[in-house]
């Protein structure tokens, strides 16, 4: 009987083991959404034109705002009496920069002096003559190595930097440019924003959620506002830009500097 009882217990255990487990309720697992990169602020300046006090004022304001990423859209030299010092400061700060049309003209002088004399205002020609004459070898090498355009990725979005326009560094983009033209450039560049300079006329235009920005000038205002300007882009899930100003302590009767031993005429500095 003991053996029979053991056989019955063994059979009961086998039946229990073979019994189906409790039903499993399926759980839907949602795919994790990619986390958006945090927004980043970037300062972009342009058209310094040898104006060291103005460049220092702009950089001081950028530093005050706590913005670490800074770019320059070209025309570092020309008109102002500090072409070497402005380039040295940009290099010392590690600020990626572009070659502007006036930078190119200063490098090509005197080979191009006949063309420049024919097409430039006499005082502007004299300023190029002065700039070319005082540029150091280090400044020349710095300018010669600058690119015509720069594509950067900020917070996962592509930003295109140019001097004049995507068409070239002598092309002018003014505030009344059509949205169709801006949209075509943004489409071609596949960029979230394009930033330029050259005209010294700052503006921000929104085109289908993208931006086209002219940063104005960090050295030679020509829009009736004596303050120099720069642009600040906030790049993230949302894109925005603003034009900010800085007051420059520039004295038109600038004290002599290594570059200004042959003083730029006052009327040239005001051009």
139-195: per-residue pLDDT in tens? 999 999 999 999 999 999 999 999 999 999 999 999 999 999 999 999 999 999 999
Q: What is the DSSP string of 64-121?
A: HTT--EEEE-S--SSSSS-HHHHHHHHHHTT--B---HHHHHHHHTTTTHHHHHHHS-
pLDDT confidence bin for 34, thresholds 50/70/90: low
pLDDT at 13: 52
Say how far apart CA 264 and CA 248 lie, in whole Å. Answer: 19
Query: Model-level pTM greater than 0.75?
Result: yes
CB 220 within 8 A of CB 200: yes
CA angle 158, 159, 162 (to 5 degrees): 140
Pairing of strands 210-214, 203-207: antiparallel
Say how far apart CA 82 and CA 79 lie, in whole Å. Answer: 9
H-type helices in the chain, by residue range?
Answer: 2-18, 52-64, 83-92, 101-108, 113-119, 122-134, 137-144, 179-189, 266-269
Each residue's pLDDT tens digit, 62-119: 999 999 999 999 999 999 999 999 999 999 999 999 999 999 999 998 777 677 766 6
Q: Is pLDDT at 197 greater than 90 in this prediction?
A: yes
Say how far apart CA 127 and CA 121 lie, in whole Å. Answer: 10
pLDDT at 271: 47
């Amino acid at each position: 009987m003991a053996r029979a009882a053991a056989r019955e217990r063994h059979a009961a255990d086998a039946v229990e083991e073979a019994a189906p487990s409790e039903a499993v309720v399926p759980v839907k697992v949602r795919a994790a959404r990619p986390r958006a990169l945090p927004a980043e602020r970037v300062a972009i300046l342009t058209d310094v034109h040898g104006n060291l006090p103005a460049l220092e004022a702009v950089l001081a304001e950028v530093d005050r705002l706590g913005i670490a990423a800074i770019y320059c859209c070209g025309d570092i030299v020309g008109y102002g009496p500090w072409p070497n010092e402005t380039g040295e400061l940009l290099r010392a700060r590690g600020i990626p920069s572009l070659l502007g049309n006036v930078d190119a003209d200063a490098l090509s002088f005197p080979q191009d002096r006949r063309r420049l004399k024919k097409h430039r205002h006499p005082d502007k020609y004299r300023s190029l003559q002065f700039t070319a004459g005082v540029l150091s070898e280090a400044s020349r090498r710095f300018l010669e190595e600058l690119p015509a355009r720069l594509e950067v990725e900020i917070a996962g979005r592509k930003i295109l930097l140019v001097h004049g326009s995507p068409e070239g560094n002598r092309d002018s983009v003014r505030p009344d440019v059509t949205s169709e033209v801006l949209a075509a450039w943004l489409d071609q560049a596949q960029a979230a924003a394009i930033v330029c300079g050259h005209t010294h006329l700052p503006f921000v235009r929104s085109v289908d959620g993208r931006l086209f920005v002219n940063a104005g000038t960090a050295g030679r205002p020509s829009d009736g506002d004596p303050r120099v300007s720069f642009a600040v882009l906030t790049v993230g899930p949302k894109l925005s830009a603003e034009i900010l100003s800085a007051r420059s302590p520039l004295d038109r009767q600038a004290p002599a500097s290594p570059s200004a031993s042959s003083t730029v005429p006052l009327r040239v500095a005001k051009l």
